[in-house]
A and B are shown apart, each in its own frame.
Chain A
Amino acid sequence: MAKGPLQNKIFLSLLGAVAFMFLFSFMLVPLYNVFCEVTGLNGKIYGPSDFFKKNNETYERQVNIRFLSTVNGSAPVTFYPTETNIEVMTDKVSKTSYVATNNTNKKLTLSIVPSVSPGLAAENVKKIQCFCFSEQTLGPYETQEWPIRFYIDSELTENVNNVYLSYTLFETEREEALALNHEH
């Protein structure tokens, strides 16, 4: 068999390629997040971005905001917005709220994941206060009203007049959620 420096070199460089691609698959996680953050894609809400900014003309106008709520899987919670639809002026802070009720006799830890649609409007939704910033807890059969304060900055692309704010509520006690899912 041809055992020689050439063979070892090719073998080792291929092995290196394998190791690199394995690490690369994990690098895709931060790369994806950075990409979404830079471009404002996928409805992720982060800091300001000028990736898709066409011009600096800004003017105040009215935007229609709709609120959606989703309870993930089998989480035993009732969760809905107090207002489904409000008109806001750009750059003016508005306040609304969501209501959540625990339907069990146990304490629940919940996390609520936001999403904005259309995705390109995500960077223009500025939240000052939100229940999605941290985990929430609900005592047995407790009902809480969770406020949101936000404004839409006036750099919002002019062809966007309707913005959907969607919140998905997850039960963070994973073990319990898993057990429920397995009862087929």
Chain B
Amino acid sequence: MSAVVENHDHHDDHHGPKKGIMRWLTTTNHKDIGTLYLWFSFAAFLLGGAFAMGIRAELFEPGLQLMDPIRYNQLVTMHGLIMIFGGVMPAFVGLANWLIPMQIGAPDMAMPRMNNLSFWLLPTAFTILLSTAFMEGGMPGFGWTFYAPLSTNYPNVAYFVFAIHIMGASSIMGSINVVVTIMNMRAPGMTLMKMPLFVWSWLITAYLLIAVMPVLAGAVTMLLMDAYFGTSFFDAAGGGDPVLFQHVFWFFGHPEVYIMILPAFGITSHIISTFSRKPLFGHASMVYAMVSIAVLSFVVWAHHMFTVGMPLVAELFFMWATMLIAIPTGVKVFNWCATIFKGSITYETPMLFAIAFVVLFTIGGFSGLMLAITPADFQYHDTYFVVAHFHYVLVPGAVFSIMAAVYYWLPKWTGNMYDEKMGRLHFWLSFIGVNITFFPQHFVGLAGMPRRYADYALQFAEWNAVSSVGAFLFGFSQLLFLYIVVKTVFAGKKATPQVWDGADGLEWTVDSPAPYHTFDVPPKING
């Protein structure tokens, strides 16, 4: 189903970008939009990180030092919302914009104007969300999961709802664009199974987004109606059911967590293959594994709510279904290890991040398996063990893969090599920082420390102090990342077109930096 793209009559395609700010406001170029997304997500990452620093500073020792519990809850909520919807998701969309057209040999995304709109909706949404900080009642403080009826009784919930609506619209447009681009604009000869894994991972992610973002929109709409229009979807007083909210939310929420990890699988596959100087082991099985993970993600949502009082049959079903996901994930980890096996490995910064991803994401996966065991989950539910689990899959998982991708493709984007010594320093600071932050949270969680409180019992003091020190190390070492990226944009050793000697793929056949327009004539794919 590969559609051939030729005979463009877009004469205006062939001059360079506009000058000044209008270039960025009106751009329809996938590379510009990718850059905008990536910088936006970097800004959100630093802001969300600043909130996390506030949280860890408060938890440095027991008692209330810096803020009252309401402020603390607001920081927790905004940290989650900003990191998920502003940090990780836009970073992956930015990478998709930069890389998908170049990896499939297309001149641009299929719908460039919609692409521009879907980016510029994001700053709009976050302005609305963050504006609550300056209002009476303050920012939302009900957790990023906004369980009703707590959230329906909260001040400023309408701002939160509209912000989510707009972010959802942005994600949906971005996903439709990705699917249409991949389905229609592949270079002749590039069959579906020949597509690079990053493209595959995004095709699956885009379908997941199209399926679940509307459900999130529905959930927040019902919330808005409960809060302001007198309906009782989730209000038991009017015949509604608060447990229903959790079902609707997690029906969105579980596929959402795979949305935040599938592109990471794609990135890691490219990087490990490049620096092992071997083709990826099991390309087709990687695709099937991702498809199975995506399908299974729709039937496991209730493992987030084992303690709401479900019948035994349902608890068992969701337990087994959740554990089943370990199989395709295990296939992926096996394939990465098999790719490294007997390879000619070098440890440049992207490879260090990718290996750390495989190891630490797997640790997060194992704690996920522990949480999947229903009877054990009654002990772990809403403790710091859960916090440790999802931070292990999201920070050294998703975030490390994004950093790996930035180091890996930065020479292609800017034409300059980054400073390898500084890159490795950034990696080791991040790696050590992340583990010092989150590993002790397993211990306090198993010992019974609950989530979402500004204070804690004295016996958790030591590990929380350790965790905070690690968090500051990790947080401040990201300023080094910012410095390295900015420095590479302006200076550095010139990069060759192929950049890495093991790199394979269409994006490495164009010059570095990639010209403003690539593949105006589709390349021919051999074999």
Interface residues of A (CB under 8 A from B): 1-2, 4, 6-7, 10-11, 14-15, 17-26, 28-29, 32-33, 39, 41-43, 72, 111, 113, 117, 119-120, 168, 170-172, 174, 178, 181-182, 184
B333 at the binding interface (Cβ < 8 Å) = no
Of chain A, the residue at the smallest CB distance from B150 is A181
Given A2-B5, A6-B3, A120-B311 in contact, is the A28-B248 Cβ separation under 8 Å? Answer: yes
Residues in B with CB closer than 8 Å to A171 are: 237
- Complex contact A18–B311 (CB within 8 A): no
Q: Is the CB of B243 within 8 A of A2?
A: no
Nearest Cβ distance between residue A13 and chain B, in whole angstroms?
10
* Residue contact A22 to B180, C-beta cutoff 8 Å: no
Give the CA-CA distance A19 to B215 in the complex, in Å. 10
Q: Quick one: CB contact mask for B165-177 with A, threshold 8 Å, 1 for yes?
A: 0000000100110
Report the Cα distance A1→B155, complex, angstroms. 46
Q: Which residues of B contact A21 (CB under 8 A)?
A: 210-215, 218
B237 in contact with A172 (CB, 8 Å):
yes
By the criterion CB–CB under 8 Å, are A22 and B214 in contact? yes
Is residue B382 within 8 Å, beta carbon to beta carbon, of the partner chain?
Answer: no
Given A7-B180, A18-B172, A119-B309, A25-B217 contact (CB < 8 Å): yes
Q: Is the CB of B311 within 8 A of A119?
A: yes
Docked complex Cα distance between A33 and B243 (Å)? 11
Do residues B241 and A42 form an inter-chain contact, with CB atoms below 8 A?
yes
Interface membership of B233, Cβ < 8 A:
yes
Told that A32-B244, A72-B236 touch, could you supply 5 new A-B pairs with CB distance under 8 A? A18-B213, A25-B222, A29-B244, A113-B239, A182-B153
Residues in A with CB closer than 8 Å to B184 are 2, 4, 6-7, 10
A10-B183, A22-B214 are known contacts. Are A41 and B244 too (CB-CB below 8 A)? no
Total number of B residues with any Cβ neighbor in A under 8 Å = 49
Which stretch (B103-111, B349-357, B405-413) binds chain A? B103-111
User: Within residues 224 to 265 of chain B, which ones have a CB less than 8 A from any CB in chain A?
Assistant: 230, 233, 236-239, 241, 243-244, 247-248, 251-252
- Determine if B211 and A17 form an interchain contact, defined as CB atoms under 8 angstroms apart: yes
Q: Are B215 and A24 in contact, CB atoms less than 8 angstroms apart?
A: yes
At the interface, is chain B mostly helix, strand, loop or mixed?
A: helix
Instruction: Evaluate contact between B111 and A11: CB separation under 8 angstroms.
Output: yes
Query: Contact: A41 with B237, CB < 8 Å?
Result: no
Chain B's closest residue to A182 (CB) is: B155
Task: Please tell me if the beta carbons of B214 and A2 are within 8 angstroms of each other in the complex.
Answer: no
Q: Is B10 an interface residue (CB 8 A)?
A: yes
For A19, A113, A119, A168, the residue with the greatest tally of chain B CB atoms inside 10 Å of its CB is A113
A178 interface neighbour in B153, B185, B239, Cβ under 8 Å: B153
Nearest CB to that of A173 among chain B residues? B237
Contacts of A119 in B (CB 8 A): 309, 311
Report yes or no: A28 in contact with B244, Cβ–Cβ below 8 A. yes
Q: Taking each of A4, A41, A120, which has the highest tally of chain B beta carbons within 10 Å of its own beta carbon? A: A41
The 8 Å CB contact of A174, one of B230, B236, B314, is B230
Distance (whole angstroms) from the CB of B314 to the closest CB of chain A: 8
B:159-212 near A, CB below 8 Å: 172, 175-176, 179-180, 183-185, 210-212
Residues of chain A lying within 8 A (CB to CB) of residue B70: 184
Residues of B within 8 A of A42 (CB): 241, 243, 309
Picked from B111, B185, B236, B244, the residue with its CB within 8 Å of the CB of A170 is: B236
CB distance from B60 to the nearest CB of A (A): 25
User: Which residues on the A side are within 8 Å of B153 (C-beta)?
Assistant: 178, 181-182
Give the CA-CA distance A184 to B239 in the complex, in Å.
27
A111 to B236: give the CA distance in the assembly, Å: 9
Shortest C-beta distance, B516 to chain A (Å), equals: 16
CA–CA, A44 to B3, complex, Å? Answer: 54
* Bound form: Cα–Cα A23–B311 in Å: 27
Q: Residue B310 at the A interface, CB < 8 A?
A: yes
